[in-house]
Amino acid sequence: MTRRTFPLLAAALALAVVGPLAPAADVPAAEVPAADAPTVLRAEKEVVSYRAAKWQSAHFADSEKVDRHVATLKKLGCEVKTDPHGGHTDVSHRCPTWMELAFNDHETAHAWETWLKANGFETSHSH
């Protein structure tokens, strides 16, 4: 298995871009963990590895949520496609190569692991 570790700055930027998303009935994508809670630690105590080998899609009616979701996926290193039609936007992503994010606590790592899984990623969480 090939793994590529993101520079800490890129991971921190990914976390800073996302804010809490209000759950909406028409948005199956999971809520992004809060931006102010996660901090990335150089010691890499908690590592979440992730990939989405096949294309995954989510349906959004709110353009702001589309923008945040796309920005988050791009910061995570994913290929992203959007398809606006019929009053909503489908956001598709894939990330065939294993990537890693490091966190300073288990709760934050678990929150991101949950978000990644809810958005179609395979994950592995180690400490």
pLDDT by residue (tens digit) across 79-101?
Answer: 999 999 999 999 999 999 999 99
d(C-alpha 16, C-alpha 71), whole Å: 11
Q: pLDDT of 28-58, one tens digit each?
A: 445 566 543 344 444 558 999 999 999 999 9
The Cα 8–Cα 89 span in angstroms is 31
Question: What percentage of the chain carries pLDDT values higher than 90?
Answer: 62
Does the pTM exceed 0.75? no
Q: Which CATH class is domain 3-19+39-126?
A: alpha beta
